[in-house]
Amino acid sequence: MTKYFIVTVDSLVDTFSIVKAGSNIYVEFKTNDNNIFNTIEKGDKILGIYNNCVKYIFIMQKVTEKDKIVLKKYLEFDNDIKIDEIYQNYEIKEINKEEFNRIYNEILLNLSIDISYLYELENKEFTLKKNNNIMNEIDYNQIVYGIPGCGKSYHVENKILKEVDKNNNVIRTTFFPDYSNSDFIGQILPFVKDKDVTYKYVPGPFTKSLEKAYKNKNEMFYLVIEEINRGNAAAIFGDVFQLLDRLKKNSDDERVKGDSEYPISNEFIEGYLRQEKVNFTPERIHIPHNLVIIATMNTSDQNVFPLDTAFKRRWKMERITNTWDENHPFANYYIPFTNITWKNFVETINEKMLELTSDGLYLEDKQLGEYFANEEMFIKNKADAYIVNDENEKKLKNFTYKVIEYLYNDVFKFNKDKFFKETTISFNKLCESIIKFNEKKTEYIGMIETCMDVNFDVSNDEGIEDVIIEPTDEVAGE
C-alpha cells in the first residue's frame, strides 16, 4: 500500500534544482524516528519542503542502506503553499493520505506552468493529465456541440470522463421543453406519514452535484447536461446562471481558482444544505472548483431554445465533427440493395448540403453525423448487399424510416425539389417506392439509389458479379 512522507530539503535545494524531472537522486536524510527507513518502499510519494513551503514531489525508488535512499524527481515549482507546523521540525516524517491529498490538490490549483510533459505518478489517483480536469487549465463549464450523430455523448463519456468514477462522481440530466428550474435546482415537497404532513427539500441534479462537491473537496465531480438547448436554459438555471463565471485566480477570501466569482443567496439550496448538515457560508452559495459542468448541444435543434450570447460566453465551446477513424464499426458497411457504403453516403449527402448552403439555404447544421445511423441498418459484405431476404428487407426499412425520413421531413422539408427527384408524393408513397420487390420477392426493384438527386461516387468499389438468387423457403413463402 502506498505511503506518504514529507522531507525537508533546505540544505539540498541547489542539488535538486539542477536535476531534471524524471531523474533519480541519491540522497541521505536524518529522522527522529529510527524505524522510518524500514517502512519506506518503492512507489511511496514524498513531498519536498523548502523554506516551509512545498517545492518538490518525489517518488521513492529504493533504500540503499539505512538513512540513504534513491528518489525520482517528479515535479518542481514555486508557490506559497505552507505546511502545517507539526511537519516543519522534521527532516523526514510520514503523513497520512488525506494530508497528502490536500496539499497535492492545492498544488495543482496553483500551478502556472505547462505541465503536459510531466511523468505520471504510478498511482492513477495522482496522475497529471489534461483530461483529468483537476489541472490549471480546466474547462469548468463546457458545451460539446455538433451535428446529429457526430458522437457528442460518446466524446463526453469516453474522452472527457475517461478516467472518472462514473458511478459516484457523475450526475446526469437531460433538458427538454417542459424542464423547469425546480427540476434542475429542486423543490420543497410534502410527505405524509401516519396522517402527519411534513415538508422536505428534494434536490435536483444541480443541488445534488453541489452537495457532493461541498462534502468531498478533494474529489472532482461532474454534472452532465444532455441536450442543453432543448430546454429554456436561461429559465432553468435561473439565478444560478450568475455562478457560471469562475475565478481566474485565487481570491482574497477562501475561494480559489475555479470557484464561482460572484456567489449568490439561494433560499432553496441553503435550506437543503442545512437539512443535510453540509457546511457552507450563508448567502454565499457558489460552484466550487471541484465541480465541472459539461453539456451537449445538437446544432440542428438550436432553434428550439437558442442560447443567448450572455449565456454562451460563460462556456467553452467544443465542436465535434465526423472523423471516420479506422476503428469506426460500420463506416464501410453497405446500405441494403446498393453498392454505397455508409461513409460514402454521409460524405456525399453532406457535401450536397454545403453546396446548397452556398445557394442560399442554410443546411450545414443539419448534416449527418457518422453515428446518426446504427450498425443494424447495414450489410457488412458487398456480395451480400443484394440478397433478398427478410433480414435485408428489415435493414432497408430501418434505414429508410430513419435516414431518408430525416432528409425528407426535416432537412429538405421546405425545399424537397433541391434534393429529391419525386417531390409531389407523400413520404409514405416514397417509402413504398424504396421498399419494393417483385411479386415473388426474389428481386429488389425499388429506387433507394435513384430517389435522390445525388451522384454517389462508387468508382473505387469493385463490381459485384452477376448472381442468380434462388428463392429460399423463407423468402418464397413455401
pLDDT, residue 58, reads 84
Q: Is the pLDDT of residue 381 over 90?
A: yes
Question: Which tens digits make up the pLDDT trace of 215-253?
Answer: 998 889 999 999 999 999 999 999 999 999 999 888 877
Could you give the domains of the chain? 4-128 (2.40.240.20), 141-320 (3.40.50.300), 342-476 (no CATH)
pTM, two decimals, is 0.66
Q: How far is 97 from 120, CA to CA, in rounded Å?
A: 18
Task: Pick the more confident residue, 270 or 96.
Answer: 270
Measured distance CA(100)–CA(1) in Å, rounded: 15
Q: What is the pLDDT of residue 472?
A: 42
List the alpha helices (DSSP H) in 244-341: 267-275, 309-312
> In which band, very low, low, confident or very high, does the pLDDT at 129 lie, cut at 50, 70 and 90?
very low
**pLDDT, tens digit, for every residue of 389-409?**
999 999 999 999 999 999 999
Q: What's the grid cell of residue 360?
A: 442560399
Residue (of 246, 248, 275) closest to 263 by Cα position: 246
Cell of 474: 423463407
Side-by-side strand order, sheet with 92-95 = 24-28, 68-76, 53-65, 45-50, 4-8, 92-95
CB atoms within 10 A of CB 333: 21
Q: Which of 340, 364, 341, 342 is nearest to 352 (CA)?
A: 364
3-class DSSP state of 200:
strand
Record the cell numbers describing residue 477, joined without a space.
Answer: 413463402
Backbone angles phi, psi at 201, to 5 degrees: -80, 120
Residue 336 pLDDT exceeds 70: yes
Instruction: Please give the pLDDT value at position 138.
Output: 60
- Range in 77-81, 217-221, 266-270 with the lowest mean pLDDT: 77-81
Q: Which tens digits make up the pLDDT trace of 177-192?
A: 999 999 999 999 999 9
Separation CA 368–CA 385 (nearest Å): 22
User: Residues 409-433: pLDDT tens digits?
Assistant: 988 888 888 888 876 678 898 999 9
Mean pLDDT, the chain, rounded, equals 82
Per residue, the 3-state secondary structure of 367-410, as one string, reads CCCCCCCCHHHCECCHHHCCCCCHHHHHHHHHHHHHHHHHHHHH
In total, the chain counts a number of residues equal to 478
* Calpha distance 471→27 (Å, rounded): 82
| Reported confidence tier of residue 56, pLDDT bands at 50, 70, 90 | confident
More confident residue, 87 or 26: 26
